[in-house]
Amino acid sequence: MKISEIVFSDEQRKQLRTLMKTKSLPLQVVKRLEAIRLLEKGCTPTMVAHQLAIRKELVRKYATDFLKKGFDGLVRLEKPGKDTILTEEKFQALESYIQQQKKLNKRCSLKDLTTFLTVTFGITMSAEWLSKRLVLRKQAQKQSRSRINRDILAGV
């Protein structure tokens, strides 16, 4: 199958809408999904690459991945054998660790948190990267809470 032959079924169109509404998707996954959406609308790989500010070869790779594995081929993030994703489970473990340290009247530095992740999950990351992820998560939680409150008030 060729890139120009990408046509979504009704189920795939619904799946794409659901994925695009997911607020926690990393930017690279959103770009992959958007690339496939644009290809399906008839854009050339060159046009898609220009619009998304990525290389044309990447657009072709995303198309090939989609044709072989569907959306599962685009949403994958981690490399085999390497845990690179800071999942909800890991965020919750971090929060639990922070709460335990507070009960002991100890403060957690970013270095403490990165060490905890390394020891507990085998993940190595910079304190700067972790700091950015924690800030983004907090912002997303605030937005989610305000959206829920707005929905509740609208229903009253």
Task: Point out the domain boundary residue: 75, 110, 127.
Answer: 75
* Per-residue pLDDT tens digits for 35-91: 999 999 999 999 999 998 889 999 999 999 888 888 888 876 544 444 456 788 888
Under 8 Å between Cβ of 45 and 66:
no
Is the predicted pLDDT of residue 22 greater than 90, yes or no? no
Residues 132 and 135: their CA atoms lie apart, in Å, by: 5
CB atoms within 10 A of CB 15: 16
pLDDT of 146: 64
Share of the chain above pLDDT 70, in %: 83
For residues 4 and 86, which has the higher predicted lDDT (pLDDT)? 86
For residue 88 the two structure tokens come to 């909800």
The answer to the question of residue 80 being in a domain is no
Share of the chain above pLDDT 90, in %: 19
pLDDT of 50: 92
31-53 as b/e: b if 16+ CB within 10 A: bbbbbbbbbbeebebeebbeebe
Task: Say if residue 118 is in the same domain as residue 96.
Answer: yes
The answer to the question of residue 83 being in a domain is no
Structural domain including 134 reads 88-155
Task: Say if residue 126 is in the same domain as residue 71.
Answer: no
Task: Point out the domain boundary residue: 75, 104, 130.
Answer: 75
Task: Say if residue 105 is in the same domain as residue 147.
Answer: yes
Task: Say how many domains are in the chain.
Answer: 2
Residues 11 and 76: their CA atoms lie apart, in Å, by: 20
The answer to the question of residue 32 being in a domain is yes
Is the predicted pLDDT of residue 127 greater than 60, yes or no? yes
Q: What is the pTM of this model?
A: 0.49
